[in-house]
């Protein structure tokens, strides 16, 4: 993703605890990627179309459907179901700034494609945990704009 020169007008990034990083410094455990959010804001610079809010609402709705789906697929040993959800969440989470979740999904999808299932439960659990963190951060962003 290319760097955006106007990131200074961005609100604070949000860490895994739902709070901005201490001292404003970048942290590796950011839940929301400021550059991805800037890209969304760039598409609706005035906010008149409420694009950010609509994208966040759509993500929340899709995760409410996909998380039980991936958990059930994992329990049933349905690797195609797990791969499908991981693939779907990989791009949608990146589009809302959830780069860590996107990375977990990419790893899960790759492992399933290669038939490596030894880490399946751990990765599905990590996916669910990161979705929870991301939804908290997105709710905070929606409520406060930061």
Q: Which CATH number covers residue 72?
A: 1.20.120.160
Q: What is the pLDDT of residues 15-47, one digit of tens each?
A: 444 444 444 434 435 788 999 888 888 998 998
| Secondary structure of 13-65 as H, E, C letters | CCECCCCCCHHHCCCCCECCCHHHHHHHHHHCCCCCCCHHHHHHHHHHHHHHH
pTM here? 0.77
Q: How many domains does the chain have?
A: 1
The pLDDT of residue 118 is 94
- 86 occurs within a structural domain: yes
| Residue-wise pLDDT tens digits, 105-117 | 999 999 999 999 9
Q: Is residue 27 part of a domain?
A: yes
pLDDT for 10 equals: 32
Is 34 within a domain?
yes
In a domain, 124, yes or no: yes
Q: What percent of the chain has pLDDT over 70?
A: 79
Within-domain flag for 1: no
Q: Which domain holds residue 63?
A: 7-144
Q: How would DSSP label each residue in 64-126?
A: HHHHHHHHHHHHHT-HHHHHHHHHHHHHHHHHTT-HHHHHHHHHHHHHHHTT--TTHHHHHHH
Sign of torsion over alpha carbons 114, 67, 93, 130: negative
Q: What is the mean pLDDT of residues 48-54?
A: 89
Q: Does residue 103 belong to any structural domain of this protein?
A: yes
Q: What is the pLDDT of residue 23?
A: 41
């Amino acid at each position: 993703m290319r760097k955006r020169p106007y990131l200074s007008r961005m609100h604070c990034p949000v860490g895994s605890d739902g709070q901005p990083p201490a001292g404003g410094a970048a942290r590796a455990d950011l839940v929301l990627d400021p550059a991805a959010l800037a890209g969304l804001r760039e598409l609706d610079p005035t906010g008149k179309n409420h694009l950010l809010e609509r994208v966040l609402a759509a993500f929340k709705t899709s995760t409410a459907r996909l998380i039980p789906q991936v958990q059930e697929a994992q329990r049933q040993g349905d690797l195609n179901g797990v791969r499908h959800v991981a693939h779907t969440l990989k791009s949608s989470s990146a589009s809302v700034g959830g780069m860590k979740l996107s990375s977990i999904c990419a790893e899960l999808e790759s492992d399933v494609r290669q038939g490596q299932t030894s880490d399946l439960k751990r990765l599905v659990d990590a996916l669910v945990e990161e979705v929870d963190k991301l939804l908290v951060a997105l709710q905070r962003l929606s409520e406060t704009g930061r």
